[in-house]
Amino acid sequence: MHQPQITIQKLTLGIGSFLLIIKFAAYFLTDSTTILTDALESIVNVVAGAFGLFSLYISARPKDENHPYGHGKIEFVAAAVEGSLIIIAGIGILGKSGYSLFYPNLVHNLDWGIAITAVAGLINFGLGVYVSREGKKASSMVLVSSGEHLKSDGYSTIGMIVGLGLMLLTDWWWLDAVVAMIFGGVIIMAGIHVIQEALSGIMDEVDYDLVADIVTILDTHRHENCIDVHNLRVIKYGMALHVDCHITIPWYFNTREAHDQVDWLEDLLKDNTSKPIEFFVHVDPCTTPSCKVCTKQDCPVRQFDFEQKIEWNTQNIMLNQKHFCESQPHK
């Protein structure tokens, strides 16, 4: 399951290492602080890529006695490390560019530096788009953060080329340090964003888009024996999802019938999502007020006529309470 993501991360690491050499060659050729900024960020790309690859190997390990939910959380830790490295690189860039503003370098061969930087930036951006897209498909935080970082590197390169071009046209060499300072700040902000995303995963913050997708599946394929779904919670463990919920079924179902209903719910989500899913489902018996929202046609113990179909959404399906008609009190 993790092999395609590992292969992509290996590709990212290999290309990143190659571009690191190219960018430092451009720096030694030009002695430009702006190009050094780009090269320093590539060091972060390589180090973070190596740690991301390691985390994917760890995440691929099967569940064991000490990790009953698997090892997927390591991907969020890897993303947090990458974000920290990005911030450290940004701070270093600010320091170097601030020094260069007062003690500027003599920049030379700038036309070659611009050409090399442009090619490297284009490769980074294209790779970032691909890695980010594949990471979102696989729900891999490592790949998503790597892809977004590479794309931001590509965007930064555009700005750097503009600054370097102005220097070449105007001979305002102090722009070298100013452009580097601007993109040092941009890099720091990108690192903060990556850390925020990683902490959201570590702290199990609700992914409302993911919950909305699951609710759509449940509501679209609703079964009459599944009267209600509530207290829905979704936790991400790398590529895998852990889903908790309560379902309300007819109170007279025996154990086998209740188990069949749980199996139906589990199969429904597994057949309609591309991610591995683990379920913990609590079964509730229906109560008298449930009749008014129950669509079961052949119920032998119905006490009230059906009145209203409750549309499940991210607001009401996550509450720890059964759904009743709007005129009825929640219990």
**What residues contact residue 95 under an 8 Å CB cut-off, 6+ apart?**
none
Asked if residues 312 and 219 have their Cβ atoms less than 8 Å apart, the reply is: yes
Asked if residues 224 and 297 have their Cβ atoms less than 8 Å apart, the reply is: yes
What's the pLDDT at 2?
A: 65
Gap between the Cα atoms of 132 and 145, Å rounded: 7
Asked if residues 248 and 285 have their Cβ atoms less than 8 Å apart, the reply is: yes
Integer angstrom CA distances of residue 242 from 92, 262, 276, 277 = 40, 15, 9, 6
The token duo for 82 is 């990458």
Domain ranges of the chain: 3-202, 209-331
Q: How many angstroms from the chain centroid is the CA of residue 40? A: 25
Fold of 3-202: Alpha-lytic protease prodomain-like (1.20.1510)
Q: Do domains 3-202 and 209-331 have the same CATH topology?
A: no
What's the pLDDT at 251?
A: 94
pLDDT tens, per residue, the chain with 331 residues: 567 888 888 888 898 899 889 889 888 888 887 788 778 778 877 887 888 888 888 887 888 888 878 787 887 888 888 788 878 878 877 887 787 777 776 777 878 888 888 888 889 889 989 988 888 777 777 788 778 778 877 777 777 777 778 777 877 777 777 877 887 788 788 888 888 888 888 888 888 888 999 999 998 888 899 999 999 999 887 677 889 999 999 999 999 999 999 999 889 988 888 777 888 899 999 998 899 999 888 899 999 888 888 889 988 899 988 888 765 555 4
**What residues contact residue 327 under an 8 Å CB cut-off, 6+ apart?**
none
- Nearest to residue 206, comparing CAs of 241, 234, 244? 234
Domain 209-331 has CATH 3.30.70.1350: yes
Per-residue DSSP letters for 211-247?
A: HHHHHHHHHHT--TT--EEEEEEEEEETTEEEEEEEE
Residue 127 sits at the vertex; the CA angle it makes with 125 and 129, to the nearest 5 degrees, is: 70
Neighbours of 108 (CB within 10 A): 12
HSE at residue 149, side-chain half, CA atoms within 13 A, is 38
What's the pLDDT at 249?
A: 94
What's the pLDDT at 328?
A: 55
The token duo for 193 is 């964003």
Ramachandran area for residue 171 (φ above 0: left; ψ -120 to 50: alpha; else beta): left
